[in-house]
Chain A
Amino acid sequence: MLTYEPDETIAHRLDPRSKLAVQIGFAATALAHTSPRALIALTVVAGVVLAATRVPPLETLYAYRFALVILAIAPLVAAATLGPPWIDVERGTTSARASYRVLLILLVSAAYVRSTPVRHSRAAIQRTIPGKPGQVLGVGVALVFRFLPVLRGDLQTIREAMAARLGTERNAAERIHLVGVLALTRAFDRADRLSLALQARCFAWNPTLPPLSFSRADLPAFGVAVALLLSAFV
């Protein structure tokens, strides 16, 4: 699974905000261009980003395997035509080039995921988005991070309990209903206890955040981000 890993790479030392900027710039220009020359240039940039973050390429591709299935099927579907000549190579290659840039965007975002701990991303969100929306998003993301394993455990328990009572023999609609109602009841119970705890601790709109600071290394990263963003309009 793709997740943050502590390391000593350049990307790990960068401020999360400059890494986000690079990703957005890369995605913008990749969405704007599909010519072969642009794809070569994008591949080189993506390669540099992956090397700078020491992302293992094969593991990352495996993590995105479900997305890759659609990316692989799309050109085949585009190429297939009803009636002669049955296969339209040109439409297939157009779609294949479009799919390939999506793969590059996924790989570049994997570099961010590997090099940025959640608390840094959270601080970046809260410092970049002003006012209460930023606070809601930042605190909310931190809570999602905290509750994700808990709720996954809940779901696992529900499914095991259902399987033990031969729930797996029931029809699909009943199973979806059961899992849904039990998971939501438990989740809202947890949420209500959480809100009580937040009230008891005087939950405020202006909590103290971990410090973030731009360093000298962020300057070139921002330069790259701006260059990528501008290249979307070329």
Chain B
Amino acid sequence: METHRESVDPVADDVIKSFARAAVLAALLGATAFVSIPIPFSPVPVTLQTLFVFLAGLYLGPVWGTVSILLYLAAGAIGLPVFSGMTGGLGVLVGETGGYLWAYAIAAGVVGLIVHRGRELRDPAEEPLPILVGSLVVATLLIYAIGTGYMAWLLELELGEAIAVGVLPFIPGGVFKLVAAIAIVKSKRITQIR
């Protein structure tokens, strides 16, 4: 009888911890697809996705934060109902909201880079407020710019028209989520990986 021999290549402990958090956060990002909170003065209810994109960068750092979002995108691409409206499929990633979704990965990476400034994870609660706010503002602008730019190209809209469809309705929600992300970090209720 033929035997198959292969040596086991175990994963390092610190990698397992970060990887498990990245995977579970990706699932959480998917689970929020069905939660929406109505906000005043806006026809569009808030979904919590960008909040957890921010938190991925803040708590997992540039590498694992980006990995977490990529896992979310991959899970959606193979058909898990993780995108808004509980949809999935590769088509969504190239569809009209695809730009926003890809921008999430970049945004989480950028937040991680600004806050942690390297692969060594810091506790975001210890960071000065301007750095936290600055990183989240940059991330939000990136998401809107890439998402709206792609939507304008795909649907053959002028930039102003795309902004009217893809940015203006979401600005109030965006502000709420930015404030909430800072409040979560400053509440110090989430512990960093040691």
Interface segment out of the listed A183-191, A214-222, A225-233: A183-191
Interface segment out of the listed A6-14, A35-43, A64-72: A64-72
The 9 closest A-B pairs by CB, nearest first: A109-B91, A113-B79, A109-B89, A66-B85, A121-B78, A147-B27, A195-B20, A191-B24, A143-B23
From B21, B35, B91, give the contact of A188 (CB < 8 A). B21
Given contacts A94-B156, A110-B91, contact A118 B28 (CB under 8 A): no
Contact B72 A144 (CB under 8 A): yes
Residues of A in contact with B (beta carbons under 8 Å apart): 1-4, 20, 23-24, 27, 31, 34, 63-67, 70-71, 73-75, 77-78, 91, 94-95, 97-99, 102, 105-110, 112-113, 116, 118, 121-122, 125, 136-137, 139-141, 143-148, 150-152, 154-155, 159, 172-173, 175-177, 179-181, 183-185, 187-188, 190-192, 194-195, 198-199, 202-206
Given contacts A77-B164, A203-B16, contact A20 B90 (CB under 8 A): yes
Contact B13 A199 (CB under 8 A): yes
From A2, A144, A194, A198, give the contact of B71 (CB < 8 A). A144
Residues of A within 8 A of B51 (CB): 176, 180
From A27, A107, A140, A159, give the contact of B19 (CB < 8 A). A140
9 residue pairs A–B, Cβ–Cβ below 8 Å: A2-B87, A20-B90, A67-B85, A99-B96, A144-B27, A144-B71, A172-B40, A188-B21, A206-B6
Known pairs A70-B166, A94-B156, A143-B71; list 7 more (Cβ under 8 Å): A23-B91, A105-B94, A121-B79, A172-B39, A185-B190, A198-B20, A202-B10
Contact B27 A1 (CB under 8 A): no
> Nearest chain-B residue to A146 (Cβ)?
B27
Residues of A within 8 A of B20 (CB): 143, 191-192, 194-195, 198
Residues of B within 8 A of A3 (CB): 79, 81
Contact B16 A148 (CB under 8 A): no
Contact B81 A176 (CB under 8 A): no
Task: Kindly state the separation between the CA atoms of A204 and B86 in the bound complex, as whole angstroms.
Answer: 32
Contact A173 B179 (CB under 8 A): yes
Contact B17 A152 (CB under 8 A): no
From B17, B28, B91, B161, give the contact of A27 (CB < 8 A). B91
> Does B115 lie at the interface of the complex (its beta carbon under 8 Å from any beta carbon of A)?
no
Contact B55 A70 (CB under 8 A): no
From B13, B32, B96, B179, give the contact of A74 (CB < 8 A). B96
From A2, A150, A185, A204, give the contact of B89 (CB < 8 A). A2
Task: Kindly state the separation between the CA atoms of A109 and B158 in the bound complex, as whole angstroms.
Answer: 27
Contact B48 A144 (CB under 8 A): no
> Does B145 lie at the interface of the complex (its beta carbon under 8 Å from any beta carbon of A)?
no
Task: Kindly state the separation between the CA atoms of A106 and B87 in the bound complex, as whole angstroms.
Answer: 10
Given contacts A66-B85, A176-B176, contact A148 B30 (CB under 8 A): yes
